[in-house]
């Protein structure tokens, strides 16, 4: 009997069983991840989340929110342009936080987590310290350091790296652009703007760890994580889930839309019209007006877009916009054409620099298409390519044809 008692005692000493007695510090805390569904505004489309800490002893119930920013913040616009935005973390009463999202018709879900009392206490203390004025600000990045990755990292820190080790080498089967496209399909202008501004860095495959830049992806992946239970056996990290409020708004699509045929149709129609009007510059006042207005407006839009893309690459910290291959299609060289094309259409001067510049712009657009067939780094930009290439080619062809007609001695202007 004595030997048996000693063996049992030795087994208990070596067992990973962790005490979770009611009196242990941290046992009074409940830790939950609060996930909020997408809203209507562009910065709400990706959803949101926070860490909720409930103290059953004191009744304190706080959500720690890493998504705080202020349009009135000093130098906000300058920081936004530079890619150096400062966000901060703040604690709010959980009930008021939930009410605000209910009023906005945004879903709210809770996931209570299986943490030991020591982990709960350490996480609570970390969040409290993080919320101090001297610690709360951080440099925001859309994909790599945002409100959701901060929640992910805080949880992973409390768990000793369990989340990262389970997800960092596991492929998500998606990209940053994949999620950006599907979550902005409700606004074609925002969708087009982001497709224009995002470069090839957003097209590489991401891991499940990286995919948790999305609050709803974090919610989904937490369900797959296991931790050691009191008896040492694996147990789910998520102890319980609750739907606090379900929005009546439609859910975002699971995959991005296939819109490049619409962009191609728009670009092809525009390019064909420019060639048609270019053929009649010497005989039709309406064609001169159509060519000058459409060609000039398009060149202005393309030139401004190209200048912005070049600026983002060369002078800002927006890494998601660096080395953007849309510069082939949207060249800053189009800016002078915005002035030259209407003058060319209205006054029919010698083609000269107008033809040369239009040829350069069209050649760059063709090079962007050729790039797709070369063993070089690629960028997913079918919509921008489909829209811009026919328009740039249409301008160049129209000017060449019009210049040939202008050089004919018997050309008559009506």
What confidence tier does 14 reach under pLDDT thresholds 50, 70, 90? Answer: very low
392 vs 232, more confident = 392
What confidence tier does 350 reach under pLDDT thresholds 50, 70, 90? Answer: low
pLDDT at 99: 96
What confidence tier does 1 reach under pLDDT thresholds 50, 70, 90? Answer: very low
pLDDT at 3: 37
- CATH of span 25-245: 3.90.1720
14 vs 116, more confident = 116
pLDDT at 226: 96
Please check the confidence at residue 401 and state whether its pLDDT lies above 60.
yes
Q: What is the mean pLDDT of residues 384-397?
A: 97
Q: What is the mean pLDDT of residues 388-398?
A: 97
What confidence tier does 141 reach under pLDDT thresholds 50, 70, 90? Answer: very high
Given a contact cutoff of 8 angstroms between Cβ atoms, the answer to whether 330 and 309 are in contact is: yes
pLDDT at 231: 86
pLDDT tens string 278-324: 888 878 899 999 999 999 999 999 999 999 999 999 999 999 999 99
Helices (H) and strands (E) in the chain, counts: 15, 11
Q: Which long-range contacts (CB under 8 A, 24 or more apart) does 311-318 make?
A: 312/83, 312/197, 313/199, 315/82, 316/81, 316/82, 316/83, 317/82, 317/83, 317/84, 318/83, 318/197
pLDDT at 407: 58
Q: Tokens in use for 217? A: 């992806």
Please check the confidence at residue 121 and state whether its pLDDT lies above 60.
yes
Q: What is the mean pLDDT of residues 372-391?
A: 97
pLDDT at 38: 95
pLDDT tens string 37-86: 999 888 899 999 999 999 999 999 999 999 998 877 788 888 888 999 99
Mean pLDDT of the chain: 91
Q: Tokens in use for 10? A: 């030795």
Please check the confidence at residue 180 and state whether its pLDDT lies above 60.
yes
Please check the confidence at residue 408 and state whether its pLDDT lies above 70.
no
User: For residue 163, which of 154, 174, 171, 176 has the smallest C-alpha distance?
Assistant: 154
Please check the confidence at residue 130 and state whether its pLDDT lies above 50.
yes
pLDDT tens string 226-280: 999 888 899 999 999 999 999 999 999 999 999 999 999 999 999 999 999 988 8
User: For residue 61, which of 106, 103, 24, 110 has the smallest C-alpha distance?
Assistant: 110
pLDDT at 27: 93
Mean pLDDT is lowest, of 124-133, 172-181, 378-387, 398-407, for: 398-407
| Residue % of the chain over a pLDDT of 90 | 80
Domain locations along the chain? 25-245, 260-406
Q: Tokens in use for 194? A: 């982001």
Conformational region of residue 103, where left means phi above 0, alpha means psi within -120 to 50, and beta covers everything else? alpha
Please check the confidence at residue 8 and state whether its pLDDT lies above 50.
no
Q: Tokens in use for 205? A: 């495959």
Distance between CA atoms of residues 38 and 408, nearest Å: 61
pLDDT tens string 186-212: 999 999 999 999 999 999 999 999 999
Distance between CA atoms of residues 108 and 247, nearest Å: 8
């Amino acid at each position: 009997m004595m030997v048996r008692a000693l063996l049992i005692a030795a087994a208990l000493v070596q067992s990973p069983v962790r005490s979770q007695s009611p009196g242990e510090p941290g046992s009074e805390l409940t830790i939950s991840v609060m996930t909020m569904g997408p809203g209507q505004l562009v910065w709400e489309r990706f959803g949101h989340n926070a860490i909720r800490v409930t103290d059953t002893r004191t009744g304190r119930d706080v959500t720690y929110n890493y998504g705080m920013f202020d349009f009135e913040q000093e130098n906000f616009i300058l920081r936004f342009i530079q890619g150096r935005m400062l966000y901060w973390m703040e604690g709010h009463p959980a009930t008021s936080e939930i009410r605000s999202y209910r009023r906005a018709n945004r879903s709210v879900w809770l996931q209570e987590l299986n943490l030991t009392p020591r982990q709960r206490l350490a996480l609570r203390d970390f969040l409290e310290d993080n919320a101090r004025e001297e610690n709360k600000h951080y440099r925001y990045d859309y994909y790599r350091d945002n409100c959701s990755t901060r929640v992910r990292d805080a949880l992973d820190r409390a768990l000793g790296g369990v989340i990262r080790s389970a997800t960092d080498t596991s492929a998500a089967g998606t990209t940053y652009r994949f999620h950006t496209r599907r979550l902005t399909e409700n606004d074609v202008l925002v969708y087009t703007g982001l497709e224009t501004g995002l470069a090839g860095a957003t097209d590489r495959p991401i891991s499940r760890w990286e995919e948790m830049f999305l609050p709803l992806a974090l919610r989904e992946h937490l369900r797959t994580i296991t931790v050691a239970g009191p008896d040492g056996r694996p147990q789910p990290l998520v102890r319980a889930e609750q739907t606090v409020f379900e929005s009546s708004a439609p859910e975002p699509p699971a995959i991005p839309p296939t819109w490049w045929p619409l962009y191609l149709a728009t670009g092809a129609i525009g390019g064909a019209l420019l060639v048609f009007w270019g053929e009649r510059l010497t005989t039709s006042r309406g064609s001169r007006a159509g060519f000058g207005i459409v060609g000039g407006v398009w060149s202005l839009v393309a030139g401004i877009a190209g200048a912005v893309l070049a600026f983002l690459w060369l002078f800002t910290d927006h890494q998601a916009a660096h080395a953007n291959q849309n510069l082939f299609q949207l060249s800053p060289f189009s800016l002078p054409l915005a002035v030259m094309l209407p003058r060319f259409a209205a006054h029919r001067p010698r083609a000269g620099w107008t033809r040369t510049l239009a040829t350069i712009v069209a050649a760059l657009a063709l090079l962007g298409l050729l790039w797709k067939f070369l063993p070089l780094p690629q960028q997913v930009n079918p919509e921008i390519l489909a829209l811009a290439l026919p328009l740039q080619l249409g301008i160049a062809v129209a000017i060449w044809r019009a210049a040939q007609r202008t050089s004919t001695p018997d050309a008559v202007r009506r």
